[in-house]
Structure 1
Amino acid sequence: MLLVLHGLSAYRLWFRSTRRPAPSGATDVRVLAAASPTRTSVAYLREAMPWLGPTPHLLCAQNSRRVDGAAAHRSSYRYPPGSFLPVGGGVHAASPELTAVQLALRCPSPLLEKALCMLLGTWAPAPDGLYGTLSRPPLTDAPALGAYLAACPGLPGASALARALPRAIERVASPAEADLALALCLPPRLGGQSLPKPVANHRIDLSPRGRALARQRVAYVDLCWPDRGLVLEYDADLTHLNPEQHARDASRRAALESDGYKVITVTTEHLYGPRSLDPIADEAARVLGIRRRARPAGFRERQRALQGLPRGYDLPDDLFA
């Protein structure tokens, strides 16, 4: 029997994926018509993909039977082409676009925006799940998500996703970069500092003088507002760098500043406490030429809630129970 990963389970698959599978065969509602899990197929799935968690979430045909050990999400919606992608072993997954819609049903802001940053980002964990990271192309992008929403009128979760999508940041290269971008750019009602959205992992071609200082031709910076010459760099280990690393970072910063960029470094202590991110946001607003408004009542509580989101990209099981 065919299995289709839904919502949280599809998200956990995409989180580990280093590429998006190419569509093959049926990718529309015909896939769902054949999706009816059995005890044997669910046992196979739990063994093959233990990282799905204690209860795999599966999208099923409306008339499918209940199977112990899986959360069945039944649907009779006529999903458009591209909604389901084969991932091997008789298993399909909701596409990154459909996964985003399904997450929006249960995942509140700003956790939803952070999950979108993963789907739109360029980072995956190394295959062993313990050490290192891998670069990968984004699994989707904002235009593709918008086009999918336009093709799915009335699909549950679509309205919530449409509201959240403009707040997500594309092409971040780590969960911490996503946390930083959201902390700076979300509206105050969600605990953010309401700065304009930056370009993540922006490429800067250094001038001859910048190249000489940095000993490299190109610099990729974490967050950038190119039209205002502002760069924010996240450095989790700033206080633990050895002298060679300090010298390399200082040369890179000198190169960017020589080319006219204002560079602000943010550390883990700024992002997650105990140091405040407010002075960083105030200085960024000054460079961007933005007049800061008074923070609304309850802002500190929302800011602490934003800082308290789970680290990394995984999502809590209890949201989808």
Structure 2
Amino acid sequence: MDTVLWGISAFLLHRMPPAVRAYVLDRANQGVSARADTLSTRAALRDEIGSPLHLLVTDPNRHHSSAVTRMHVWEGDMPRGAIVDVLPDFDHVRSVAPLLALFGMAPAMSEANLIMALCELCGRFSIYEPSAEVRVWLQGLIDAGSLSKLDGWRPVLTREGKLTSLWCRPPVTSVAEARKFAEAVSWRRGHKRFARAVMRAFDGAASPFEVQAALRLGLPRRMGGSGFPEIRVNERIPLSPAARLIAGKVVCYADLLIEGKEGTRPVIVECQSRLIHASREQSLADGERLMALQSMGFTVVPLTFEQLVIPSVFASVERYLARELGLRIAPKSAALQRKESELCRELFMDWTKLGRS
């Protein structure tokens, strides 16, 4: 029987860089017979993405679970493209598509976590925490300068060249595709909650920090956010001739762009990640970008993770942004304060554990 990953197992597989998938499956099938391929592959996947392994079945009579596998039945037609190959050379193991994996996870996730996971799939990053064995293998390739950038995946390293859990990659899907998918499963139980999360998600985020900042600032107050107007993430901004001279480039990208009331300057919030912005060269480039954007009439606000997380500090940031955008923020009631605390618990969880119930 083919292995078709479902839910959290499929989501974690789609987080895994293609080079790692190939390594794990190659190691699993070395020296075993074709008959043993499925069992050895399942064991290797459990070692890498955790146990039990969640699998899809379409026959209710095969709905059984064990300590190492958990079966999930899908009755009726499946959306187009619902099943995808893990890697071309491993036709005995497949997975549900990323959006279907997330749809299967949705009942066990908070709405905020569901939006976060959607933003990761629609963004340009993946969070992948390797096993000890795979970490050693990856670090060895990095140290030797021989890690393949398969399908555009690239690890983000520390200043010392050590592997982190953050990877840059092309988007897995898009909000437009997620909306089409939500319509395709509109007859399934739980589709309304999934569709609501899709309406809050956005394309183009480059890191969890950008997602956390955009959601804390942009979600409505009844959900615990600040309720600022539509926030555009990684907005492309062509530079004026004068700004090009300052920045040494023709275009910049705004981490978060917020338009205020008429007559106010647009505000760009720059997420100052220590990992991304720590080097001297990056600091100089950031300064040039900031000056170039300010010369074009933008208000640029650098935001650190601590400023986003610490309640008293964030309250000051929130008031400052509102003033710059010409907006009035009413005091939060006790109920809204509770909603804000609940949202922060969801947003600032360990992102590597997103979706794990």
Which bin holds the TM-score, normalised by the shorter protein?
A: 0.7 to 0.9
Does the 8 Å contact 1:229/1:262 carry over to 2?
Answer: yes
The correspondence for 2:271, drawn from 219, 230, 234, is 234
The correspondence for 1:124, drawn from 117, 123, 126, is 126
1:146 aligns with 2:179: yes
- Return 240-249 or 269-278, whichever deviates more: 240-249
Structure 2 Cα separation of the partners of residues 18 and 120 of structure 1: 17
Structure 2 Cα separation of the partners of residues 232 and 289 of structure 1: 16
Match of residue 116 from structure 2: 114
Match of residue 270 from structure 1: 307
Match of residue 135 from structure 2: none
Residue 134 of structure 1 deviates from its aligned partner by: 4.1
Name the TM-score, length of structure 2 as normaliser.
Answer: 0.75
Could you give the per-residue CA deviations for residues 279-320 of structure 1, whole angstroms, max 9, x where no partner exists?
222333333343323323233333233333323353253x2x
Does the 8 Å contact 2:98/2:121 carry over to 1?
Answer: yes
Residue 12 of structure 1 deviates from its aligned partner by: 0.8
Unaligned ranges ≥5, structure 1: 20-37
1:190 aligns with 2:192: no
Could you give the per-residue CA deviations for residues 241-287 of structure 1, whole angstroms, max 9, x where no partner exists?
56655443222211110011110111011122265222222333333
Match of residue 255 from structure 1: 292
Structure 2 Cα separation of the partners of residues 7 and 73 of structure 1: 9
For 1:172-191, list aligned pairs within 5 A.
172-191=205-224
Question: Percent identity, aligned pairs only?
Answer: 30
Does the 8 Å contact 1:101/1:156 carry over to 2?
Answer: no
Code of the residue aligned with 1:74 in structure 2: it is V
Identify the structure with the greater helix proportion: 2
Does the 8 Å contact 1:104/1:158 carry over to 2?
Answer: no
Does the 8 Å contact 1:188/1:194 carry over to 2?
Answer: yes
Structure 2 Cα separation of the partners of residues 55 and 196 of structure 1: 42
Distance 1:273 1:244, change over 3 A: same
Match of residue 213 from structure 1: 246
Query: Please, what is the CA RMSD of the aligned residues?
Result: 2.8
- Return 84-93 or 300-309, whichever deviates more: 300-309
The correspondence for 2:64, drawn from 57, 63, 66, is 66
For 1:52-91, list aligned pairs within 5 A.
52-61=49-58, 62-68=60-66, 69-88=68-87, 89=90, 90-91=92-93
Match of residue 44 from structure 2: 47
Name the TM-score, length of structure 1 as normaliser.
Answer: 0.82
Does the 8 Å contact 1:191/1:300 carry over to 2?
Answer: yes
Structure 2 Cα separation of the partners of residues 256 and 153 of structure 1: 43
